[in-house]
Amino acid sequence: MKKTLHKADTRGVAERGWLSSRQTFSFADYRNPERMQFGLLRVINDDVVQPSMGFGTHPHENMEIISIPITGELRHHDSMGNTQHIKVGEVQIMSAGTGLTHSEYNASDSEVVNFLQIWVFPKEPDIEPRYDQKLFSRDQRQGQFQNIVAPDQNAGGVWINQDAWFWLGDYKAGQSDTYTIKRSGNGAYFFVLEGSVALASEQLGSRDGLGIEGATSVGFEATEDCQLLVMDVPVQ
């Protein structure tokens, strides 16, 4: 089993006044040749955006882009004709495919928004761009994993153009579980949203990340009440 540990305080930092970003992998001005990606998982940006501010209209192509609000609410508009608000509990995905433009703003004029922006390389290039957004009940991930992203549009999660599965789990201190990797050739990247967990002989705290390759399953125990995101992606 191969482990790749990224502690929260080793991430890239971008401070723009309206934006405070922490970047697990190289992105924009943050360049670290040892932290380019985990398999086909390319970006995990932990962004805090000030009230009424955000990312103006800009292009993407051939990338799977997932947004997960942690606090606050996003306002989204894109060239596919989607104008949406994305709230806590919802997950949004865009398959950029042949190309699209979009903007993402804090929907509040008084509160900050904190969200994860995650990019995954696509399985098939140059598909027709598509959009998906779903609400997930936190009650359904108490002491277990809830699927939020899947390659099958009928699996319950938002639909991704890749052999990738994302899961969220909420665990009370002392609870243990095992995550089973979904596909041969995939690895699992564990990202702690809050709390702490003992996993693969590592103690992970809030916003720490740990990539696991060469295993079929990974056991863990919550050492504090925790919320855990697992990104199961191709690594071979």
**Residues 44-90: pLDDT tens digits?**
999 999 999 999 999 999 999 999 999 999 999 999 999 999 999 99
Does 218 have pLDDT greater than 90?
A: yes
Provide the whole-model pTM.
0.97
Parse the chain into domains and list their residue ranges.
11-135, 138-234
In whole angstroms, give the CA distance from residue 171 to residue 228: 8
Instruction: Report the CATH superfamily, name and number, of domain 11-135.
Output: Jelly Rolls (2.60.120.10)
What is the pLDDT confidence band of residue 235, given thresholds at 50, 70 and 90? very high
HSE-CB of 165 using CA atoms within 13 angstroms: 17
Among 89, 91, 55, 60, smallest CA distance to 165 is for: 91
Does 209 have pLDDT greater than 90?
A: yes
Among 183, 193, 159, smallest CA distance to 232 is for: 183
Give the pLDDT confidence score for residue 155 in this predicted structure: 86
Residue 102 token pair: 């979009």
Instruction: Report the CATH superfamily, name and number, of domain 138-234.
Output: Jelly Rolls (2.60.120.10)
Among 182, 211, 207, 216, smallest CA distance to 199 is for: 211
Mean pLDDT of the chain: 97
Average pLDDT for 218-234: 98
Does 236 have pLDDT greater than 90?
A: no
Give the pLDDT confidence score for residue 154 in this predicted structure: 86
Give the pLDDT confidence score for residue 77 in this predicted structure: 97
HSE-CB of 136 using CA atoms within 13 angstroms: 25
**DSSP strands (E only) in 82-206:** 83-87, 90-95, 100-106, 113-120, 130-135, 145-150, 158-159, 165-171, 176-180, 186-194, 197-199, 202-204
**Residues 115-172: pLDDT tens digits?**
999 999 999 999 999 999 999 999 999 999 999 999 998 888 999 999 999 999 999 9
